[in-house]
Structure 1
Amino acid sequence: MNINSFDVVIMIAYLLLLVVVGVIGSRRAKTSEDYVLAGRNLGFFMYFGCLGAVILGGASTIGSTKLGYEFGLSGMWLVVMLGLGIMLLGIFLAKRISGLSVMTISEYLSRRFGVEVGLVSALIAATYAMMVSVTQVIGMGTILNVLLGWNLSVSMLVGGGIVLFYTILGGMWSVTMTDIVQFVIMTVGIFFIMLPLGLSKAGGWSSLQTNLPETYFSLSGIGGQQIFQYFLLFALGMVVAQDIWQRILTAKTIKIARAGTVAAGVYSLLYGIAVAIIGMCAFVILPGLEDTQNTFASMAVAVLPSGLLGLVVAAVVSALMSTASGTLLASSTLISNDIIKRFYKKNLTDKQYLKLSRTVTTVIGILTIVCALWIQDVLIALDVAYAVLSGGIFAPVILGLFWKRATAKAAFYAIIASTVVILAGLVIQGITATTPIVYGIAVSFVVMIVVSLVTKQGEELKVAS
């Protein structure tokens, strides 16, 4: 299923453009705040574009197209729940988050509940962010493998290596500048090329209604339990995701943070519907695909002419790279700021911290690529990441922001208890099980509330200043 040389040239030119833009962005990363938060200086368009780009990655594009192929319109729920989580975050929490003088979600928890809570939450959030990066590298490998015929492992190394390169160079400024390019490319590629041409090739909406099972047009076709699991994993996970918090902190004003976050949520809803319909078109055009994870790539080859094919492939690679770079930087920031700097290198100068951030980003990036080579399944990696995140720190973050009575001891025990429950449940019932997440979140809230009510002030963990 290899594409022709002209499309390969377009893809290579696009990847080189990202490298150049990343190098240009690196010149603006002169301080640690520039590297981690782009100087907290983004206007609405850049903020909205970057947030939209980081939300919609490998699972959103490749995974949802696969779900659209297998289940129809209800395959949109994965991305819809991402959008719902972002909208909830924008409406209820963006103002509070913007007012915090912190770099990470764990730094907030450390100030609110103490260094112990900050440490365990940093480990959980960093693991989540790295696992999301892993899904993006897997997605890049899948696309390059199917379309260029490269070995899957080599494809992952190439895609992951480019992301790692420009992220190391300029941090959030390089990520921001490349994300704007990627946001434009992915919007054009999905909404204005792939969707209309896919529908046209499939014979239009009426043809889909004629040739697809009736369940493909039901919003609950994927199953109520699966939709509920997506809510637990993605809607709640978005609310406490470090990569999203980190993006919110880059906004120039609170108004931009709130409006841009809600706009990115709406964009995500539309994106989810679009890629699910593309998957439905693929079911008509390419019945009997052996590996449905290759649905998007196979569909692109089937319906797009030379030139446009290269652009659309660049679009989906854009979606993957933007999320990979954002979550890679989020994971390295948590490790650098909330673990190494706080516990081992307390007196670092700004220049030394900048060097430390680049070093940690390199290590996390290499580990991400290694994990991608090992797991090689987009949705499995994503499920594990969001399960631990949603169950582990959702309750402490929400109750910490809205309930003054919440105590440090309660937050610490809630995180430990819920994480143990979730991981044990996933081992016993399987990675795709929903009940461990439900139990984990329930345990977290119960422990937070009960321990907070019985904890005396003198028994609380010491809160960092």
Structure 2
Amino acid sequence: MTSLDLIIVLFYFAMLIGVGVYSSKKIGNESDYLVAGRRLGYGLYVPAMTAVVLGGASTFGSTKLGYQYGISGLWLVGMIGLGILGMGIFFTKKLSKLSIFSVSELLGNRFGNSSRYISGLVMAVYDIMVAVTAVVAIGVMFSALFGWSSATAILVGGLIVVFYTMLGGMWAVTLTDVIQFWIMFIGLIGILIPVGIYHAGGTSGLVNQVSPEFLSLTNIGGKAIFAYFLLFFFGMMIGQDIWQRAFTAKDEKILRKGTIYAGVLCIIYGIAGAVIGMVASVVVPGLADPQQALPQLVIKILPTGLIGILVAAVSSAVMSTASGTIMASSTIIVNDFILFKSTKNRTEKEKIKLTRIVTLIVGCIAILISLVLQDIIVALDVAYAILSGSIFIPVIAALFWKRVSAKVALSSMVISAIVVIADLIIEGVSSLNAIIWGVVACAIVMGIGTLVQNKNTPVVEEVNKNI
């Protein structure tokens, strides 16, 4: 990478730090720090919601699958987009009426404190693990970019994200995500695809050089498509990082339409990633590691200056995920454990200070885990399986089924979590059946429990009046 490319990348990182400092001046209360004051319009909300879900896994994953399977590589990110669309269509009317900060707070208000703690623990661990994967990816990029050791790269890259997230809260995360959104879309769709297609011989040249299967939407296989549906569709609709962005919208109209727009943009991004992978299969064929399709294509076809923009674009994708999940985990810890259990009356400034401290600690924990834990995917898979298999149905019930009691909801969460963990032990952590059996067990316990319970069984109603 040339000096010009390096200057572009360093300028981008300096800009992120500057945004953190600027955003800190916009923080007046807890709502400003956690949900950007609940006052975002389309111009900020749509890019921020889109960027938080389009991380390094989405970017590298879609290009890798495009390299291997052609246009059907879109399904990984496509299911993420469909999950966001589903949330926009089915959840936003309810969410717009809730003055809460977390998914766990909803479950706690609706089903009692035990449900709040269990769901909060699962979500906090899950978000930390997602942050760890993002910090590791940042470290890999920084190591390749600057020639640093892996540990140094993780420390520097991780601390940049932690710094602006801690300082500016959701305002910093939102503003940096908007910047990252535009860099991602301009870099990958506006620059890399046109230049890549040109080097592949134009659209007709690309089509003629790939195998016919690469043009089929089902080439990746029905099993893989179903797997992506299980893994991403449900999780996107109940993720704390996603809900926390939803709570930043100014009103119901922006929340609903903006979330739907974000879902559509995610699908477009998935298509773009698959196309980039197809282009790479023609321009840089025979790669031993398909994960290298994107960086090798960038190095092969882009001139000085544009390489720096694309490096910034890929960094953007990863950093947006890291900042969003660090923020999500710290929000749950503060809102659903520390402040909820505390009897001390804190001022808004004290709450902000506390949340900043927790955000710093969570970020440092993510960095530390990135340095010492070799197989983070195991922890991530377990947390995600429990999240989707045990929390999805209770969230649906909290929003749409008022007769479910606290005891039934808690039982369904605990039993389904046991089922998920048992399946993971028996079939391995990569088992998709764990999510299926978890959802089925949760639905059965909740359905039967609600039908057989005494009609006079008390139902927690604190949230019901708002939904």
Q: TM-score, normalised by structure 2?
A: 0.94
The alignment status of 1:138 with 2:133, answered yes or no, reads no
Matched, 1:191 2:166: no
Instruction: Indicate the residue corresponding to 2:83 in structure 1.
Output: 85
Question: Is contact 2:103–2:238 with CA below 8 Å preserved after alignment?
Answer: yes
Q: State the one-letter code of the partner of 1:10.
A: I
For 1:140-159, list aligned pairs within 5 A: 140-159=138-157
Pairing of 1:65-214 with structure 2 (within 5 A): 65-214=63-212
1:265 aligns with 2:277: no
> Which residue of 1 is the match for residue 297 of structure 2?
299
Q: Deviations over 1:283-319 (max 9, x none)?
A: 2222232333333222211111110110111111111
The one-letter amino acid paired with 2:198 is S
Residue 331 of structure 1 corresponds to 329
- Please give the alpha-carbon distance, in whole angstroms, between the structure 1 residues aligned to 2:449 and 2:378: 34
Contact 1:63 / 1:379 at 8 angstroms: preserved in 2? no
Counterpart in 2 of 1:235?
A: 233
Distance in 1 (alpha carbons) for counterparts of 2:151 and 2:278: 29
- CA distance, structure 1, for counterparts of residue 203 and residue 376 of structure 2: 29
> For residues 155 and 337 of structure 2, what CA distance do their matches in structure 1 show?
28
Separation of aligned partners in 2, 1:397 and 1:433: 23
2:182 counterpart letter in structure 1: V
Contact 1:114 1:461 in 2 (8 A): no
Q: Aligned in 2, Cα 1:424/1:375: closer, same or farther, shift over 3 Å?
A: farther
Question: Percent identity among equivalent residues?
Answer: 48
Size of the aligned set, in residue pairs, is 463
Distance 2:149 2:283 in 1: 26
In structure 2, what residue type is equivalent to 1:358? R
Q: Deviations over 1:317-342 (max 9, x none)?
A: 11111121111101110011001111
CA distance in 2, matches of 1:321, 1:384: 23
Find the aligned partners of 2:115 and 2:107 in 1 and give their Cα distance. 6
- The separation in 2 between residues aligned to 1:105 and 1:392, in whole angstroms, is 13
Q: For the structure 1 residues 428 and 203, does the alpha-carbon distance in structure 2 shift closer, same or farther, using more than 3 Å as the test?
A: farther
Q: Deviations over 1:86-137 (max 9, x none)?
A: 1111111111101111111111111111111111111111122222222222
Q: Decide which moves more: 287-296 or 392-401.
A: 287-296
1:10 Cα deviation after fit = 0.6
| Distance in 2 separating the partners of 1:145 and 1:292 | 20
Render the CA deviation track for 1:47-87: whole Å, top value 9, x for unaligned: 11111111211111112212222222222111101110111
- Does 2:436 match 1:452? no
**Alpha carbons 1:146, 1:294 under 8 Å: kept:** no
Residue 431 of structure 2 aligns with an amino acid whose one-letter code is: A
Give deviations 1:7-54, integer Å, cap 9, x for gaps. 111101100011001110111112111100111111111111111111
Corresponding residue of 1:343? 341
Note closer, same or farther for the CA distance 1:234–1:25 as it changes in structure 2 (3 Å cut).
same
Whether contact under 8 Å (1:83, 1:266) holds in the other structure is yes
The answer on whether the counterparts of 2:405 and 2:457 sit within 8 Å (CA) in structure 1 is no
Contact 1:25 1:174 in 2 (8 A): yes
Distance 1:376-1:55 versus aligned 2 partners, 3 A rule = farther
The whole-number CA distance in structure 2 between the counterparts of 1:9 and 1:230 is 38
Change (3 A) 1:284 1:308: same
Moved more, 287-296 or 358-367: 287-296
Following superposition, the deviation at residue 157 of structure 1 comes to: 2.2
CA offset at residue 226 of structure 1?
1.7
Q: Does 2:43 match 1:36?
A: no
Residue ranges of structure 2 left out of the alignment (5+ in a row): none
Residue of structure 1 in register with 2:311 after alignment: 313
- Aligned letter for 2:239? A
Q: Which residue of 2 aligns with 1:397?
A: 395
Pairwise CA RMSD of aligned residues? 2.1
SS in 1 for 2:91: helix
Q: Is the 8 A contact 1:233 1:383 kept in 2?
A: no
Q: Which moved more, 1:75-84 or 1:447-456?
A: 447-456
Cross-structure match for 2:2:
4
Match of 1:19?
17
In 1: Cα distance, 2:356 partner to 2:17 partner: 17
* Cα deviation 1:245-274 (Å, max 9, x = unaligned): 111111111101111000000000000000
TM-score by length of structure 1 reads 0.94
Deviation at 1:202, TM superposition (A): 2.3
Letter in 2 for 1:33: S
Q: Distance in 2 between matches of 1:156 and 1:380?
A: 20
Of 30-39 and 382-391, deviating more is 382-391
Select which of 277, 280, 287 maps to 1:279. 277
| Match in the other structure for 2:418 | 420
Aligned pair in 2 of structure 1 residues 423, 68: CA closer, same or farther (>3 Å)? farther
**8 Å Cα contact 2:82-2:263 kept in structure 1:** yes
Unaligned ranges ≥5, structure 1: none
CA distance in 1, matches of 2:301, 2:79: 29
Query: Retained in 2: the 8 A contact 1:43–1:256?
Result: yes
Q: Is the 8 A contact 1:114 1:463 kept in 2?
A: no
Aligned partners of 2:129 and 2:376 also within 8 Å: no
CA distance in 2, matches of 1:440, 1:99: 29
Q: Alpha-carbon deviation of 1:209?
A: 3.2
